Amino acid sequence: MKIQYSRKKIDKEIIRLAWPTISEQVLIMMVGIVSTILVSRLGKESMAGVGMVNILVNFFQTIFAGLATGSTIVVAHVIGESGIEKSKVVLIQSILMGITVGIGFLIIGLPTSKFILNIFFGGADPKVLKLALMYYRIILIGVPFLILDMIVGGALRGAGDTRTPMYVTITVNILNIVLSIILIFGCKLGSINIPALGVKGAAIASTIARIFGGFIIIYILFMKKSKIHFKNGDKFILDTKIMKRIINIGIPAFIENLIMQGGMLIMQILIVTFGTAEVAGYQIGNNIHQLTVMPVMGIATIANTTVGQALGRHNYDMAQVYAYENNRLAILVSILAAVLESIFSLPAAKIYSNDPQVIKSAVIVTIGFALVEPLLAIERVSASVLRTSGDIKYVIITSVIALWIFRVAVSTIISKFFYMGLYGVMIGIFMDFCVRGFMYIVRMKNGEWRYLKL
């Protein structure tokens, strides 16, 4: 029997949940854009160095993202099964694991920082590499607090509270921008003279903001208005069953992210061989693209909540309805984003840089990403749905086939052997999303993902 539903009502529910997440993601990207513009004023070497480190940090965030994904999905399922009270146990386990991972990462990361950067970016200009090393060492200090922010924010979204993470992000990123302006370029505050610290100032600003964000989001959990509210009587004890459930999602999510970010890192290493202007241009183009894709990312995040809670209630037909509507909305939004991205590619690139080669590279990358926007929408939302249902093995398979065979291998061959540079990279990216889009459409239509046991 076919389920009857009001598309208008469901779309309103998705938009109600998604707009805070979209606003949060757009704000994050706006801050990233402003930070990149500020750093670009220091020269293309500074921008290239910061861009390389950000790619590397994103690669290492795969472990944390796996924990955050596990927390989001298990919270959504548990609320559908047992209600909000049980979700606190899930969050406690996630926080304990997050603290352990964050501290371990910091202890290992600091002594090996120079070694790691030389492995991945040893072919970069020595000046760029020196700036990258300084930036990386400072950024590492804020990583444990970033993990807490990611995990707690993910759990709150899984519970249907998308506004609290948004408010935290607004506060943290405003702090980041203010500190960046002060510390990068220096200023005089009364009798206090703050020197211009350049790239070091950008790193310090980001680290302070992340530390503040980690503290504030934990503090919010003890406020009565919080959707997941900790009380004085709550015990922070290990629950191995819940922990195992999170790990069962977190490890495959980690593997998927590792495959994804590993591919991105290899692409960055490839682009480094093209020259500093191309590295800076790719960073700018990717920055512009990430801003336009944020609405799609917001809808994909809400797919975890809506589909996860429906599956937790064993309402399989409704889960498919939510999956379909999230996909449909994301595709519509992505088409508009693609048009805007194409139209404003040149003016946007000129905001970042006045170097003709950097601008040209940025436009190539921006328009290349615009061409794949609708396919990217299908990939992002469908992947979220499949992760939520427990069908993450399929997501991993698509990543290996599409990303590593088509994006990495094809990009390398076209760029290096046919001397097409960034054009070759964007052709590889287009082929990647064509393959993934097709594979996800087939899987979603099959519908068997709804009945998997999480």
Q: What is the pLDDT of residues 181-223, one digit of tens each?
A: 899 888 877 778 888 888 889 889 989 998 999 999 888 888 8
Q: Where are the domains of the chain?
A: 8-447
pLDDT of residue 292: 82
Over the chain, what is the mean pLDDT? Answer: 84
Q: How far is CA 352 from CA 32, 91, 177, 344, in A?
A: 12, 40, 16, 13
Instruction: Please give the Cα distance from 305 to 80 (Å, whole number).
Output: 10
pLDDT at residue 439, as a whole number: 92
Produce one character per residue of 270-289: b if its CB has 16 or more CB atoms within 10 Å, e if not: bbbebbbbbbbbbbbbbbbb
Low-confidence ranges of the chain (pLDDT < 50): 1-2
141: part of which helix (H) or strand (E)? helix 126-141
CA distance 227 to 234: 15
- Distance (Å, rounded) from C-alpha 23 to C-alpha 14? 14
Determine phi and psi for 187, rounding to 5 degrees. -165, 170
How far, in Å, CA of 295 to CA of 329, rounded? 10
Tens-place pLDDT, residues 144-153? 898 888 888 8
Per-residue pLDDT, 1: 42
pLDDT at res. 434: 92
Amino acid 28: pLDDT = 63
